[in-house]
């Protein structure tokens, strides 16, 4: 494998996904930004020649297939996949709409599987898949059943694919961010955020760049696969959850 690897980052137009993309370009690697919104084109232009825009919705298999085909056409290969695309729809059981439940699963879980399936045929020895999980996938919160179920499912998918793809020299791992202030957490009240922050042993929120640092390290690790790697300020430890 060449030194300058080709990465695909989903949900790359904001938050953690964009922080990962910026870090990868800064390291000298190439990165394809996959996102639903048209801002992805301006972001790719801003990041320069080592960045490619792929506008696609991970819940639509035909769009994912076309995006990956464009990466292969443009750069000739694919080395690392980061499944970061996610959506959040809350609501306690009695108020959770079936459409909201399905939308979260379609993006967070089925979408990740769709990307893995389409990308895996292009990954070779030394390739890597990094899935972005969530603490709620291991420790439930009231009103978060859809998001929790999707992220718990992603953890199971990670373990299964790590075994399946190990014989091809491809690693599959799960990075578990803690509470990071992004557009997705923007809908939470100050009271809810403060209550959650108080449970973090390090006493503060995480930064997108701090998660990106862990994702890059995990993707470059060659003998670690099927691992759950928290980057959460100790939040999972405070709940007594092993990584």
Question: Which residues are catalytic, by number?
Answer: 147
Asked if 172 contacts 82 with a C-beta cutoff of 8 angstroms, the reply is no
Cross-strand partners of 204: none
- C-alpha dihedral, 81 to 233 to 235 to 173, nearest 10°: 20
Question: Which has the closest alpha carbon to 106: 64, 69, 44?
Answer: 64
Beta bridge partners of 132: 175
DSSP three-state, residue 68: helix
User: Helix, strand, or coil here: 127?
Assistant: coil
CB-count exposure of residue 106 (10 Å: 0-12, 13-18, 19+): middle
């Amino acid at each position: 494998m060449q030194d300058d690897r080709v990465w695909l980052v989903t949900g790359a137009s904001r938050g953690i996904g964009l922080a990962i993309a910026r870090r990868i370009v800064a390291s000298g690697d190439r990165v394809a930004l996959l996102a639903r919104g048209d801002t992805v084109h301006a972001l790719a232009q801003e990041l320069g020649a080592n960045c490619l825009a792929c506008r696609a919705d991970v819940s639509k298999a035909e769009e994912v297939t076309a995006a990956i085909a464009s990466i292969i056409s443009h750069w000739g290969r694919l080395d690392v996949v980061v499944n970061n695309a996610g959506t959040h729809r809350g609501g306690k059981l009695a108020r959770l709409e079936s459409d909201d439940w399905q939308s979260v699963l379609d993006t967070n879980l089925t979408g990740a599987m769709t990307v893995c399936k389409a990308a895996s045929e292009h990954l070779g020895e030394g390739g890597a898949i990094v899935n972005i999980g969530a603490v709620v996938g291991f420790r439930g919160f009231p009103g978060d059943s859809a998001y929790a179920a999707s992220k718990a499912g992603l953890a199971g998918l990670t373990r299964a694919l790590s075994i399946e793809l190990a014989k091809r020299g491809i690693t599959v791992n799960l990075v578990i961010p803690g509470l990071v202030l992004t557009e997705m957490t923007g809908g939470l009240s100050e009271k809810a955020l403060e209550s959650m922050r108080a449970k973090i042993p390090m006493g503060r929120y995480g930064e997108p760049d701090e998660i990106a640092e862990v994702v890059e390290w995990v993707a470059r690790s060659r003998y670690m696969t099927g691992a759950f790697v928290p980057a959460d300020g100790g939040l999972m430890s405070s709940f007594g959850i092993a990584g």
